[in-house]
Structure 1
């Protein structure tokens, strides 16, 4: 089976710790449930991602070099 996390077109996904999550939520003045969702079965997620975790995704961007987005892991 192919490991999609090593593919060049899959951006970096990482699980955030609680203090970083609070900083992000405060910065955007939102609740955790207001974040866009990503399913736990998504093959790009890190193996240690669990339901309720917040994932940081760093994508290449033509306008800002890198774009950072956040997703809430759901069932």
Structure 2
């Protein structure tokens, strides 16, 4: 359970950034050109971080079970 708690925390951190910056852009809170660009850079960085975490989890599952699970696109 400790592993799952750590994974949940590691997933929530970049997700929280993605949500807050997305809302800031949507709601017009972030309006200056350089802030908008910086926000998109942060969104991309955090999305890549999530992708890496999911890849790591897939590798751990494969190592523990010997089964492979091909990645698939999902609608968010």
TM-score (norm 2): 0.24
Which structure shows the bigger proportion of residues in strand conformation? 1
**Structure with the greater alpha carbon radius of gyration:** 2
